[in-house]
Amino acid sequence: MNTILGLLIIAVGSFGQSSSYVPIKKVKKWSWETFWLTQGVFAWLVFPFLGALLAVPQGASLFDILGVDTPSTLFGVSFAPAAGALFFGVLWGIGGLTFGLSMRYLGVALGQSIALGTCSAFGTLIPALFFDKQDLLHGPGLILLIGVSITLAGIFVIGYAGTLRAKSMTEEQKKAAIKDFALTKGLLVALLAGVMSACFSLGLKAGEPLAEAARNLGASDLFATLPATFMVTLGGFLTNAVYCLFQNAKNKTFSDYTKTEGSVWVNNLLFCALAGLLWYSQFFGLSMGKSFLADNAIMLAFSWSILMALNVTFSNVWGILLKEWKGSSKATIAVLLLGLLVLVFSVFFPNLVSA
């Protein structure tokens, strides 16, 4: 029962993340760099900070948790957990930038599918190999490897559906569905986004001593991992802020932040805040959901892949609702639905074989 509840909580957060790009479509008269940075203030600073405070017991402070010096080790290098989480967050920020561009070139459905698939594999297997020293050819490690492989298979099928759609569409239809559609460029950007985005999972792993410190102070298991999440998103914010401010200067778009005609500024701020809240909900849900998976080591290790699989599933549902698949043949839609079914199966596979 705890496993089902944990999966349900992760699914709710995943649905929020997959919905976060819908409010962005309501942003008006702002350049890409302006709205990306503005929603990032909420997604990577404001809401993660508020979430981290939930892990702070009465009589303690957030610095009591972040200042713990129990070392984490990766590739033979030891580092303070807060610094490690921040470092991987900076690398993840590169993935965040290219992730946004993959949506721009491929759309919500295909862009998230490719990027999150790559992110799922790297973000699940690298911590298992280099932090937990798991043997991926035997026992629980093998189950983990097979589960990730099923997730990748589902994402591959969805990606294939995307190529079928692209072949059957005219250039005019592609531009109508996705304004800046560019398949080759989009695929390369999405793959880079996936590899770098996996650093978020590494940051959470590096920050595990922070969660233990929070528990030792009396924090609830529901929120114990949120300080590490905040450090990762803080690192990502730094990367994105540098890039976006550079683009503001290059494109002379600093004036976007002060546009006050009509209700543009208020409209954009509200929708950016909503997008940020929805995006952050995936990691808030992951933190809470993992607390219900603590008694199932395999599901706990697979939780990152579960989140990514659900993100891809829900993003493609939004892709259908936003008519990104409009004009596709019945065969293409059938392939898409098959991929979604495989992804849903991958979520439950580790629990089925380990029960």
> What's residue 275's pLDDT?
94
Q: How many CB atoms lie within 10 A of CB 120?
A: 31
Please provide the size of the chain in residues. Answer: 355
Whether 243 shows a pLDDT value over 70: the answer reads: yes
Joined together, the tokens standing for residue 264 give: 């543009």
Angle (CA) 164 168 172, round 5°: 125
Spatial separation of the C-alpha atoms in residues 89 and 207, rounded to whole Å = 11
For the stretch 151-166, pLDDT in tens is 888 888 887 887 787 6
> pLDDT-based confidence at 61, cuts 50/70/90?
very high
Identity at 306, one-letter amino acid code? I
For the stretch 273-301, pLDDT in tens is 999 999 999 999 999 999 898 787 788 88
In terms of average pLDDT, the best of 46-55, 110-119, 165-174, 292-301 is 46-55
* CA distances, 102 to each of 115, 152, 223 (Å): 8, 18, 31
Report whether 125 contacts 304 (CB < 8 A). Answer: no
Report whether 335 contacts 164 (CB < 8 A). Answer: yes
CA atoms within 13 A on the CB side of 351: 20
Q: How many helices (H) and strands (E) in the chain? A: 15, 2
* CA distances, 314 to each of 184, 244, 311 (Å): 24, 28, 5
Strands (E), the chain: 72-74, 77-79
Report whether 303 contacts 286 (CB < 8 A). Answer: yes
Domain locations in the chain? Answer: 2-354
Percent of the chain residues topping a pLDDT of 70: 90
Bridge partners of residue 79, in order along the sequence: 72
Spatial separation of the C-alpha atoms in residues 226 and 124, rounded to whole Å = 19
> What's residue 272's pLDDT?
94
Spatial separation of the C-alpha atoms in residues 204 and 285, rounded to whole Å = 14
DSSP 261: S
